[in-house]
Structure 1
């Protein structure tokens, strides 16, 4: 949302890309991200709230009726200071934003408008400490607001059973007819738990590296000097902690769909620069989630980016 201060919203890279995709007939989702990591969440009626609403008023005319789904907030309970995480102030801010969005849509066709409205994502619901009075109020507001179609969840977990905790929390708190989004999900916490493991003996032997080399060191080496596609395939396929989770993408989406309440699930397409910066044993290895791997795998002979081939079959089958 702060990018709304940088000029015409429709011309900014993220929004331009989304709108271009919509014009080509693709389904599109846009999340409105309000970052308050280092400042208090605005209080309705304050100058900071006025700033947030002014930005919102710039964005809504550019996207309403053009994107299929508009999400109020991205990860509200992470994109704030820790002391604001479980406070009525956080709820009050996002409820005010949601009402502003709803009022704008009401002025432009209401429920007949192409754009469906959802509240932004709940995180870490597998941890009881993240199921709070604030998340309960988040769900109550979602359920009781007729213009909202549901809520987003981001199950970044260590195992599929932890993703079930998100469904167990959200689904009973939605009203009949509401649905959920899963715009981010992954096993990133499982990958992270294995970064300091020794690399598999088979991989070490095949590529003549010390058996004591740790997983994170192999990844760091791939970032410095991208591997061939075969070497990256071997690294993942010969690592039991990865290979025995190679069906996660398929299994997670099947579980979401089995509820009968899934509206949209999306998955990370590509590695980016932030994922590989200063990579070390304590890094969060988002790069292992990605379908495409331009930062760890050499380009193919036709110039196409390298891939994480473990996900390819599941991704295609899920289509």
Structure 2
């Protein structure tokens, strides 16, 4: 500690005890509790600080005092240790700025200044902030408060496409931003769902359902099954999802609203994996690499546009006919239930 000038009592120590509002009140680290119990004074300017009831219950006397930086320094005279518990929103800049100014002046015998984190954010803690912000926006914003699942659906599709573009570009900053935009859609939809008059659910319900699904589909981690290769993991996933969904056709679970090209490819993949004869389709030119296929598809799209035909709609209609043909093949084979890869 710094000695006082002219024989003045040596100042002691100011401990700035910070806490996270994302951690339940009363949950403090052992160094924080020890420092609180050993301190000569514990000061807090916020009478509504969430930790105060727990400190009093633990026998830690807290003085409600809105002190300046100089007054905090003076309170340490005689070698005292003073713990300052900032308001729950953080230490007032005026206090910390004054302590910095006093320390830099060289004219004040400063106490030791210590920043002691009393609680730390757990991984994922910022998601709590996101939910809180979304709840307020949903309640107070004239636009957001009126949105419905149906109105937001198109934005979810757009955000996923933008994320895919960022991934393909290898733009790390854009990936982080687009992931946030996708997450916004999840939180927004969950906030809307909470207001449903008959079947409400919230973000915690969404997360709980996902956790249950992930645990159930990873029995090699949370159960007794063994899966030592990616192929074994995938086989477990396919089998367990098939049992969960109990789907009657390999075409079930392929979204009709998905992009037509992705839908057609998925239907063909499902039919091939189930060992069904692929429905007859027009002969396609042989392609052996991605670039050739891309050029072919681009040429087909350009030709369709020139003929006044919407290529997306045309392929979507063909995919629906394809779906019907697969189901007919299943019926002919007397198929019961099928597993699928997704």
TM bucket normalised to smaller: under 0.3
Tell which has more relative contact order, 1 or 2 (C-alpha 8 A, sep 6+). 2
